[in-house]
Amino acid sequence: MRTKIFCLPVLLAALALPAAEGMFPMNGMTPAIAADMKALGCRFDPADLWRPGQKCLAMAVVNLGATGSFVSADGLIITNHHVAFGAVQSLSSPERNYIRDGFLAAGREQEVPAPGYSVRVMTGFENVTQRFRSALRPGLAAEKRRFLVEKISKQLVAAGERTPGNECAVAAFYGGLEFYLATYFKVRDMRVVYVPARSVGEYGGEVDNWMWPRHTGDFSFLRAYVGKDGRPADYSRDNVPFRPLHFFPIARTPLREGDFTLILGYPGTTKRWHTAAEVANEVQAVYPQRIALLERYIGLLEKASQADDGVRIKNAGVLKGLYNSIKNNRGLLAGLEREAVLEQRLRIESELAAWIDAAPGRKKKYGRLLADIGRLAAEEREVAGLGTISGWLTRGCRLLDWALTLNKWGQEKTKKDLEREPGFLDRDMANRMARLPISQRNLDLASDKAVFAFFLEQLLAADNPGIFARLRNEVERAPGRDRGEKIAAFIAALYQGTRLGVLKFKEEMFAADAKAMAASGDPFLALAARIQPDFAALDRRRSAIAGGWLALKPLYVEAMRQARPQALPYPDANRTLRFSYGRVEGYAPRDAVRYAPFTTLAGVLAKHSGEAPFNLNPAYIAAAGGDGRRLHADPGLGDVPVNFLTSNDSTGGNSGSPVLNADGELVGVLFDGNYESLGSDFLYHPAVNRSIHVDMRYVRFVADQVDQAAAVLRELGLER
């Protein structure tokens, strides 16, 4: 596929870019960036980052919801402990607690399936903007604009997926100013190879999360398997390891402060192109509401998890994600307020308004832009809270999620694939079916009921627009003196009569049509049929708003680029493959405090208290006191390196990203950012924004001295 680099104005703007700022698309390499990388010490050819369909650095990077990378010719992947957490959670039981004790396959015959896991390797990245521009005429109604974007995207995806093994996705850049088609080779048979004990992989827990100094061994190993013909295949004992076009060798040269580093990964979402009105929504409504809800949601699940070890294991993955989310959201809100991001955006847009008013041509084209943005943002704020609550209601209550999905699937399956709503294409439903067993394994009905009751009460209280009138009527018909009693009775009746807690029944309903679902008599499925229009109404409101942004945001970006030549020369992160470059570098978070860029084994031992989250197991204590510590120590540091800091730009989704040195060798795996950088989703600060990584020398120490993972070390070329 043909790809294009950014236009000349973008290239020139890159000349003034701070060295570490920017998460660049794979076709975003420019002579200025290449020169900047070389000036920082890069010794490989920057053009080797991306060569579609050929051996290049990008071909060693995988997307598994977060990021990972190939580290052997036989499909061995390194990622984070917290990324592989769901796999060991699904394999665990009170009798075999792999979450607590870790997992190690002594040989490939002992590698076990990772339920629900798959990886994608990007093989193509094509600019398809013209396909959209020719259809998105000025003046189109918002819903029509959104519909056309979805329709064209589905057509492009369908055409790209005619090749067996391909999975495609269309991504909008700059709010819809540009569109790209990403093509991936998807591997479905994933297996767990080696996951260290939780006391290593999650050392410090939520106490240390987003903090520096860190001492966390946040790494795990998985392996990708394919059929004997090299094509993607479901799990089979006859499958063979996937042979990637490239894998990263482990660095042998010690990493030092000031060294060049490069990160490749799949960052989720940044908001550096957000308008002032959007930032106001985030600061004044979205984050405060989300934090308040998360606090109560976490408390609810913690209480439910006290029942026994089995429930604790089932809820562990959700709680882990919620702990991370609440700290992230608190940090984001604090960063927005500390850096006065809203005030900065308001000043910039005041200058933009003056620039627009200064010329009749600009006034004609952009004169209503900022006012229209303000109106659309106000409309978005009205339904944003409902969207958050209803999203958690359906994700948190699995039975309701399954009921609504099955009901919708019964309607959508009668349509042609390309005529269905997003998320209900054949390939989407196949993915849902593949994840069904792991979702079933982690189902605790008592927790499910409690989550349903909590978010249902929140939803009805927040539904000022009256969108969920049908759901409200269902609750009001239940017996009880007040809403709390009615909700309790409503939910008790649903759970008493449903069979959605049974895997076989769900599988049968996936294959059934709408008539058969109705005939099943299941109360949850019957409820879903009655209240689906409420969720559809909210989706229509949000879809119209999204369509409005598709018209306004490209105009905003266009105007900003003309008015401010120093405007960001890169798009916001959107879950597509990106690269960022920087160097090993500490930082000064406040007056008279300076953080060094490396932590060591001495710091791990200093934090050890014997109580979670600072509890080391006996094998680790023995290894730390033996000759192996000296064997793996860095002479320059005088100890085993554990974690390190770099100035690379990153965000959520970069978890598991490979960190490469100046020669393109693997020196670490990204797993976090520092607390001071949490506001960087909106504004990057070179002085304090840092990415945190586990050092490959620590991976080697733990694998060798603590877990005796000899086979893994041999495959990595790191035999003693």
Interatomic CA distance for residues 449 and 398, integer angstroms: 9
8 Å CB contact between 458 and 423: no
State in words which class domain 8-118+188-271+568-715 has. mainly beta
Tell me the DSSP string of 217-265. ---EEEEEEE-TTSS-----TT-EE---S--PPBP-SPP-TT-EEEEEE
pLDDT tens for each residue of 161-173:
999 889 999 999 9
Residues 6 or more apart whose CB falls under 8 angstroms from that of 712 comprise 76, 104, 193, 194, 221, 703
Question: Range(s) for CATH 2.40.10.120 in the chain?
Answer: 8-118+188-271+568-715
Is 82 considered catalytic here?
yes
- What does the DSSP 8-state code read for residue 584? B
Identify the CA nearest to 511 among candidates 366, 403, 376, 406.
Answer: 406
Is 655 considered catalytic here?
yes
> Rounded mean pLDDT of the chain?
94
pTM given for the model: 0.91
Strand partners, 502: none
Interatomic CA distance for residues 576 and 553, integer angstroms: 19
8 Å CB contact between 599 and 640: no
Interatomic CA distance for residues 552 and 304, integer angstroms: 45
pLDDT tens for each residue of 481-532:
999 999 999 999 999 999 999 999 999 999 998 899 999 999 999 999 999 9
Strand partners, 600: 641
Tokens representing 9? 């104005």
Task: Kindly give the pairing relationship between strand 598-600 and strand 641-646.
Answer: antiparallel
Interatomic CA distance for residues 311 and 92, integer angstroms: 12
Residue ranges of the chain with per-residue pLDDT less than 50:
1-18
Catalytic residue (one of 218, 534, 572, 672) = 218
Residues 6 or more apart whose CB falls under 8 angstroms from that of 209 comprise 323, 324, 327, 672
> Which amino acid would we find at residue 343?
E
Ramachandran area for residue 672 (φ above 0: left; ψ -120 to 50: alpha; else beta): beta
| H helix runs in 67-192, sequence order | 85-91, 98-101, 129-133, 142-160
The side-by-side arrangement of strands in the sheet containing 691-695 is: 24-25, 578-583, 260-265, 658-660, 666-673, 691-695, 641-646, 598-600
Interatomic CA distance for residues 353 and 560, integer angstroms: 10
Interatomic CA distance for residues 597 and 668, integer angstroms: 13
8 Å CB contact between 193 and 210: no
Interatomic CA distance for residues 494 and 535, integer angstroms: 19
Catalytic residue (one of 92, 447, 580, 655) = 655
Is 632 considered catalytic here?
no
Tokens representing 448? 């499910």
Compute and round to an integer the Cα radius of gyration of the chain.
Answer: 26
Residue identified by tokens 């008539």 is 515
Catalytic residue (one of 69, 72, 82, 220) = 82
